[in-house]
Amino acid sequence: MSETKTPDHSASASHEAEIDNSNRSTTPQTDKFLNYIMSGWGEADQSLPAERKVASFAAQRRQALGAQFVGQRLVIQAGAMKQRSNDTFYQFRAHSAFSHLTGWGSESEPGAILVLDPVSEGAGSASTHEATIYFRERAGRDSEEFFANPEIGEFWIGPRPSLAQVAADLGVRTAHLADFAPQADDLTLEDSELARVTSELRLVKDSYELEEMQAAVDATARGFDEVLAGLDRAVAEPRGERVVEGVFNMRARLDGNTVGYETIAAAGHHACTLHWIENNGVVREGDLMLLDAGVEMDSLYTADITRTIPISGSFSEVQRRVYEAVLEAADAARAIVRPGIRFGDVHDAAMVVIERKTREWGLLPEVDGGDDTPYHRRYMVHGTSHHLGLDVHDCAQARRELYLDGKLEEGMVFTIEPGLYFQPDDLTVPAEYRGIGVRIEDDIVVTADGCVNLSADIPRDADAVEAWVKEMRGR
């Protein structure tokens, strides 16, 4: 094996950590062996793929970005592989802005860079910029790299596309990464303005993105079905939550790239921990289980769905009471969604129901007319909605006036996910409520005159959820 060099930690680095392979076994380096291992191979596949569907949409996105930075050179990095430990790395995932602007999803090459070079005035082009993707091209079988480099060699990680193949696939000019030369006035994603604009470009989804979002939701629905069908195994295992996690994650890998975020498989009182990802608890008959999970497609668009189900197939009286209150809050929020309303109004509509229900149940302190303290927020501390797309919390760097205080537009996709969480040691609620956590989350797309629930086919109302669990468990 050839000596591993210290990586370049510039914008073009393909991994974030220096790797020392000096103590690993080495491949013979004699001329006789090198001549042998570099010969006797068939022809590499040089066929060019048809341009993928997303290419025209990505071109429009680049044009929209370039129009806001006329005359400036824009550099958008895919990013580097993240170190897991020593010389092992996490599965590579390109930066969302890079994927959005290139259409390159799960197949993206670590270290790749999209450069938008400004077009001179009078050059006869309607576009403000010319796009080039720089990346490390495949190493030929006549090169040591293909067998001796464990980071990029095809012997180790499989075939890599050629410059010509990627150019045909994405409809973008390509060049070797070695030809990329940074310039002093480059705008990169480290620049807050470029990061903001690339984030805001994703607030409204195009038709390709909406198709991918629906596909992600549909795959997630299949995963939920399979989780319920596997509940007998989950109940039988001491760490049954990990059965739930594993079953769902298998569907994510079969239908997509991976999960869009760490799966929350929260049974019993674990459902009261908003981001419970330990998933090491028991799954008991009679308890509720909160499953918050989403499949990320190969395009990197992800779903984000939560269902809370009675593990046995039947809600207890108090479980149903809490569940139906959360469902009412979700429906109230969705009912107001239409173009022109303020994004934050969706949260406010849900919280009206949460406040009313917790007050009706006698859980809130008695107040006089001058006390407007939101005591009900003790039982739901999170927001009701966030934008969704390439990131599970998409568009997070957008300006507040375009996000929380922004007006809804047709094509926006976001979650509606109210909940109620009564911690097992919360002495402000009666004992019968303690340890119950319920969240119902759907993925919503704004239409011309309202909205569509992309996840409406996943059972939501209490009776339908009970029937769903019983059917999947064969009861």
Q: What is the DSSP string of 255-310?
A: HSSEESS--EEEEGGGGGSTT-----S---TTSEEEEEE-EEPTTS-B--EEEEEE
- Give the tokens for residue 257: 């790239």
Mean pLDDT of 413-440: 98
Q: Please provide the average confidence, as pLDDT, over all residues in the chain.
A: 93
Q: Is the pLDDT assigned to residue 21 strictly greater than 90?
A: no
Short-list 76, 79, 142, 73, CA closest to 110: 79
445 forms beta bridges with 413, 452
Angle between helices 317-335 and 462-472 (to 10 degrees): 120
CA angle centred on 264, ends 108 and 400, rounded to 5°: 70
pLDDT recorded at residue 124: 56
Q: Is the pLDDT assigned to residue 6 strictly greater than 50?
A: no
Mean pLDDT of 321-343: 98
Domain spans of the chain, in order of start: 31-200, 207-472
Mean pLDDT of 246-254: 98
pLDDT recorded at residue 147: 84
The amino acid at residue 322 is V
Phi, psi of 208 (to 5 degrees): -65, -45
- Give the tokens for residue 278: 């330990």
As a whole number of angstroms, the distance between CA 242 and CA 248 comes to: 10
Task: Write down the architecture of domain 31-200 according to CATH.
Answer: 3-Layer(aba) Sandwich (3.40)
Strands 83-85 and 74-77: unpaired
As a whole number of angstroms, the distance between CA 318 and CA 287 comes to: 12
User: 80, 111 in Cβ contact below 8 A?
Assistant: yes
Q: Whole-prediction pTM value?
A: 0.94
Listed range (156-165, 237-246, 313-322, 337-346) with the worst mean pLDDT:
156-165
135 forms beta bridges with 176
CATH fold for the domain made of 207-472: Creatine Amidinohydrolase (3.90.230)
